[in-house]
Amino acid sequence: MQNPLLAPFKTVDGTAPFSLIKEEHFIPAFDHAISLAKENIKKIETSSEEPSFKNVIVDLEHCSDLLGQISSIFFNLNSAETNDEIQKIAQEVSPKLSGLRNDILLNQGIFEKVKSIYNQKDTLGLDIEDAKLLEKTYSDFALNGAELNEELKGQLREVDLELSKLSLTFGENVLAATNAYAMIVEKEEELAGLPDAVKEAAAMSAKEKGMEGKWVFTLQYPSYIPFMTYAENEKLRKELFFAFGSRCFDGHDNDNQEIVKQLVSFRNKKAKLLGFDNYADYILEKRMATSPNAVVEFLNDLQEKARPAAEAEVEDVIAYAKANGATTVNRWDWAFWSEKLKKEKFAIDDEALKPYFKLENVLNGVFEVANRLYDLNFTPRNDIDKYHKDVMTYEVTDYNGRHISIFYADFFPRVGKRGGAWMTSFRGQSITGDSEKRPHVSIVCNFTKPTETKPSLLTFNEVTTLFHEFGHALHGMLAEGKYESLTGTSVYWDFVELPSQVLENWCYERETLDLFAKHYETGEAIPQEFIDKIKASSTFLEGYQTLRQVSFGLLDMKYHQLADGKVVDVATFEKEAMKPTSIDQLGKVEGTNMSVAFSHIFQGGYAAGYYSYKWAEVLDADAFELFKQKGIFDKETANSFKENVLSRGGIEDPMVLYKRFRGQEPKVDALLRRAGLLK
């Protein structure tokens, strides 16, 4: 059988031939690629040649190229277009991949060769990239157990195997629990307060499920968030809130409480085996923040500055709600009354803004921003294969017509797609000899789908989400370097959010909004008064939101700083961990739990790293102040950001890169000023 995953991709720029790939191709392809990688490892280990940078370090970089290509296709599908068969394959393949990684990093013979080259690093005449690759390779071995004895290496293999399985199961449970729930509404009067577009989407959802004449609301964000924000029916808000908050926390098939306990325990075991006090110490060895104490101090400092504003904001919302007939304000009432107060305070209405944010226009707008800043052009390519009909595909070129990247955009929710928004890549950038591979980058979101009468109209929050993910995409697209493991988004985890978060700033600027914010029916540009209101309301509840993000960061650190890795009860642990950041008037709701669906830290790569969102906000606020001083489309500033940040990936230390762009270390005051927390 011809396996399309193993044959050369005879497609546009070697893009993945999705239409040819079937589920049955993956296991044979993985097995072949793993076998090939093992052969390459064996050659490096047994070679009688004198160990050199080229025959050890560079060959290690490329020893599993085919496997990397197959893995990126498969695991991206497992996130964006999964099914039972793909999830089953993931459970079978992940332990094999974990085993291979350990075959490399625990191989004593190879490590001795790496070590001998590392010890000569100052005499080899390496350039900056080669030196960084050598340092990274040595560090990867040293930090992953290469110097352990055989017994401890065996234990580490078992721990890594369990972690790979548990993380997958956690994600599968969240997706299954999200998809399993639907709130069916039969009477239109129960939908009072909901915008017509939201009702129409719910009716369309019901029709798709064979329940025409009814309305279906789900736990997908485009359904959940508008209902919680606008529905006047408190009883139904409460029902939906509990359904969302109790996902994976109900003792049924998709319950994640034991999974959380085991993940925390096995991560702690791994850290201890590798000589660290806890998992946070291990993770932060390769972060800008450097230590758990530095992270906790950073978060506590933000908490101290945000708390007075947060408490005042909560008081304001509660007072407003009570003045307008509410007797109590519960968690399920928060979004509803906050939105009403925001609308009254700033005369701004997200629903009134949405007609100016037609998805296609916003996408063209972000393309134009990329063109003005970085001279990039985006050309639709209908000849690029894709994994779902909703996916849009583009070729990216620069002002000289040079091919820069392939770009995929996947915007709407569906059963096989996990929630949230993310950027990923199907291929990174690298140079081998005279041959360069340019990146294949994708952004995946969950925006409101078009209905029979309306196109996809975004909330302003969704506009900033699109810009955020596109910022990550630019980081991937503009990569320039020799080694894929050092280019694009292969940077310290607390630096990776800078390119994404800084781009959000452009959404608030008149110059940017003029490019795309036009009424989808009349073509009228967004009125200046609306822009003024967007800006004025941008710091609304900022103290509360900051405290909320800090609470998630501290919860993450609490789990991963445990000395023994033991969580007796997930609900109790979470409650205690979040108590310092809680606000009394909005207490914890029994029967709900965040940890069991906290995919960032238990499925994604943010374990002991959730703080990085706020960390990178300091960088992005400080960086954007320079753009504001020089002009938001100033070419010199944009070129400096491109050359020193976006194109350099992980080739140099992130603070070195940042200071080269900014001329100084970042200052937290810039973030506090933007957030309205510094008077």
204-244 pLDDT tens trace:
999 999 999 999 999 999 999 999 999 999 999 999 999 99
DSSP string for residues in 573-635: HHHHHHGGG--GGGPPPTT--SGGG-HHHHTSS-TTTTTHHHHHHHHHHHHHHHHHHH-TT-H
Domains and CATH numbers, the chain: 12-105+107-147 (1.20.1050.40), 181-245 (no CATH), 355-493+510-519 (1.10.1370.40)
Q: Write the pLDDT tens digit of every residue in 157-173.
A: 999 999 999 999 999 99
pLDDT class of 349 with cuts at 50, 70, 90: confident
Looking up tokens 């280990």 gives 45
474 vs 455: CA distance, rounded Å: 26
Give the percent of the chain with pLDDT over 90: 94
CB-CB contact of 176 with 290 (8 Å): no
Q: How far apart are the first and last CA of the chain?
A: 69
Q: Residue 56: what pLDDT?
A: 98
Answer yes or no: is pLDDT of 347 > 80.
yes
Give the whole-angstrom CA distance, residue 321 versus residue 152. 59
Q: Which of 610, 594, 494 is nearest to 561 (CA)?
A: 610
Average pLDDT estimate for 539-549: 95
Dump pLDDT digits (tens) for 87-106.
Answer: 999 999 999 999 999 999 99
Q: How many CB atoms lie within 10 A of CB 650?
A: 23
Query: For 243-255, what is each residue's pLDDT tens digit?
Result: 999 999 989 899 9
Residue 619 vs residues 39, 124, 667: alpha-carbon distances, Å = 44, 35, 8
Residues sharing a CB contact under 8 Å with residue 43, sequence separation 6 or more, in sequence order: 59
- Mean pLDDT for 467-474 is 98
Give per-residue pLDDT as tens, 176-185: 999 999 999 9
Confidence of residue 612 (pLDDT cuts 50, 70, 90): very high
Q: Which H/E stretch holds residue 534?
A: helix 528-537
pLDDT band at residue 604 under the 50/70/90 scheme: confident
Summarize pLDDT for 624-636 with one digit per residue, the tens: 999 999 999 999 9
User: What tokens were used for 249?
Assistant: 């926390």
Residue 677 pLDDT: 87
The rounded mean pLDDT for the chain is 96
Exposed / middle / buried, residue 125 (Cβ in 10 Å: 0-12, 13-18, 19+) = exposed
The number of angstroms, rounded, from the C-alpha of 185 to the middle of its chain's C-alpha atoms is 33
Confidence check: pLDDT of 1 > 70: no
With 0-12 / 13-18 / 19 or more C-beta atoms within 10 angstroms meaning exposed / middle / buried, residue 510 is middle
Q: Which residues are the active-site residues?
A: 469
| Predicted pLDDT at 132 | 98
- The kind and range of the H/E element at 152 are helix 150-180
- Residue 678, pLDDT score: 79
- Rounded distance, CA 154 to CA 23, Å? 32
Residue 286 CA: distances (Å) to CA of 327, 358, 583, 648: 50, 41, 34, 17
pLDDT at 588 over 80: no
C-alpha 589, offset from chain centre: 27
- Which DSSP category does 457 fall into? B
Interstrand relation of 430-432 and 435-437 (parallel, antiparallel or unpaired): antiparallel
Task: Tell me what pLDDT residue 667 has.
Answer: 87
